[in-house]
Chains A and B, each alone.
Chain A
Amino acid sequence: MRYLPNTPQNQRAMLETIGARGVEDLLVKIPAKARLSRPLALPPALAEGDLIRHLRGLAGKNADADTWTCFLGAGAYDHHVPSPINHLILRGEFFTAYTPYQPEASQGTLRTIYEYQTMIAELTGMDVANASIYDGASSLAEAVLMAHSINGRAEIALAGGLNPLYRRVVETYVDGPGLKLRDVPSPEGVVDLDAARRVVGAKTAALVVQSPNFYGCLEDVAAAAELAHAAGALLVAVSDPVNLGVLEAPGRQGADIVVGEGQGLGVPLGFGGPYLGVFAAKNEFVRRMPGRLVGATVDLDGNRGFALTLQTREQHIRRAKATSNICTNVALCALMATIYMATLGKAGLVRVGELSTAKAHYAAERLSAVPGVSLRFAQPFFKEFALRLPRPAERVAARLARQRILAGLPLKTFDRKLGDCLLVAVTETRTKDEIDTFADALATAVA
């Protein structure tokens, strides 16, 4: 079998060295009554060609963004992935290495993470970024726990525009530590600052604000930071790093911790994972940060070298008192993002943002011009917006699907009051023709 090199002859020689008659002799410690007396009930092994055929069959049953026109967003975006990324990450020295515990033999991984940390810190306007958390939601959950550990307060205020799926993950994580979540309403699509002032107080560890928020609306992060700080609380900003070519860095708007989903930075849509949890904070909080950190230092000869550092905060040393239980990061996704940011570069990331918002605004204009259709919220937006439709959004989306258009996310599952709304995202990869086709199809679908 091609992944098992040792032949019966090899095995015999090895058993002889060990002094065992067969592999069974080596398995004596497994209690006899627990030994499986039958083969595992699994489908028969497939030869490579057959396996490919089978998997192509499964893949063919999915409406992917190559063969359908994708206007879905809500935390995952169809941004263009430059061609070099895939080639570079497939280099075996990158993708078959593991955690850089022996730094001398892992300088490739360590240097790319250091570059990643630098670029994320720069984009978010923060002092330090870690080597990544699992995804945007778990990153936020870790940030909330970190805020609690910094100031000891037990309440977390969440702005109403927070991605509802993120909110669920935060709920799950704060259950053990017993923190209390308090929601700040966003009736007009952005957080009501007066309501926030009533919720954020002396018991609040952090105020969490997402911008652009789940509905695509831009939030006043600076105002939120001011009111959080006035109450002695931290400001946790949830941000999409791809937008930060054009949008202001949350660090310069007063954020203490910045988290978000880095999937748009060259990580495939991949039906939801693996993704990339971005995490950055101010220097004064660095020792409370979860996750891995790579630092620069020198070797015995005085040459520059890189190593994991401040590891004593992590689970393998601090154990029950660790800042988090996280062990792996998403190193390969962070590498994709690093190469993406290097490839797009200073000017390119600005262009991605400009094109995305340009296409989104054009789409909003054309779509809301369809009779009966309007923008749900009268707020500035970036690359995503909610449309109010004259018919249930799910049905409209189903009709558009017949033309291979993934029209957007019907919001009913997340908020029954928005049952007539569709969340539409537009990136730089959508063309004017695609948008025009969408608008024409929408007109028919709601007529």
Chain B
Amino acid sequence: MSNVPADLRYTREHEWAKQEGGRVRVGITAFAQEQLGDVVFVELPKVGARVRAHQTFGVVESVKAVSDLFAPVSGEVAEANVELGQTPEIVNQDPYGKGWMIVVTPADSTEWDQLLTAAQYEEFIAQGGH
């Protein structure tokens, strides 16, 4: 069944974004982790690195695939989830919670409105998610 929290926004590359008092927390969706299979490694940028909307900020690796991670918004990385270095499986277990990847201090607030709503994302994955 679809696990698409209504209070989040989404990208076509299967990342979710959550507003938290001026900052944006980012991770990958339940759909994404299911497609990937067991996550074995996550490569994240350092705190302070700049990210750009729709450009890659890291890589998530499973046993059978590697996928680029795309930033939903541009800005500076305020936090990166170091837990994933030790226990990458959290991404599978709790993709919207403890499996978060980075927190971004956004540079351009207009980018938020260009993200997919939960309804739009659900529609997108219902049609295959490509």
Contacts and interface: CB of A to CB of B under 8 A. Distances in A.
A311 B66 CA distance: 10
Chain B: interface size category: under 10
Interface string A297-317: 000000000000001110001
Nearest to A318: B66
Interface string A317-336: 11001000000000000000
**Contact residues of B: prevailing secondary structure:** strand
**Contact residues of A: prevailing secondary structure:** helix
B60 to A, nearest CB: 10
A317 B41 contact: no
Interface in B47-86: 61-66
Contacts of B41: 287
Contacts of B66: 312-313, 317-318, 321
Chain A: interface size category: under 10
A3 B61 CA distance: 44
Contacts of B61: 287, 312
A287 B61 CA distance: 10
Contacts of A287: 41, 43, 61
Nearest to A309: B63
Chain A CB within 10 A, most for which of B41, B61, B63, B66 = B66
Interface in B78-114: none
Given A312-B65, A317-B65, 13 more contacts: A287-B43, A287-B61, A311-B63, A312-B61, A312-B62, A312-B63, A312-B64, A312-B66, A313-B66, A317-B64, A317-B66, A318-B66, A321-B66
Interface of B: 41, 43, 61-66
16 contacts: A287-B41, A287-B43, A287-B61, A311-B63, A312-B61, A312-B62, A312-B63, A312-B64, A312-B65, A312-B66, A313-B66, A317-B64, A317-B65, A317-B66, A318-B66, A321-B66
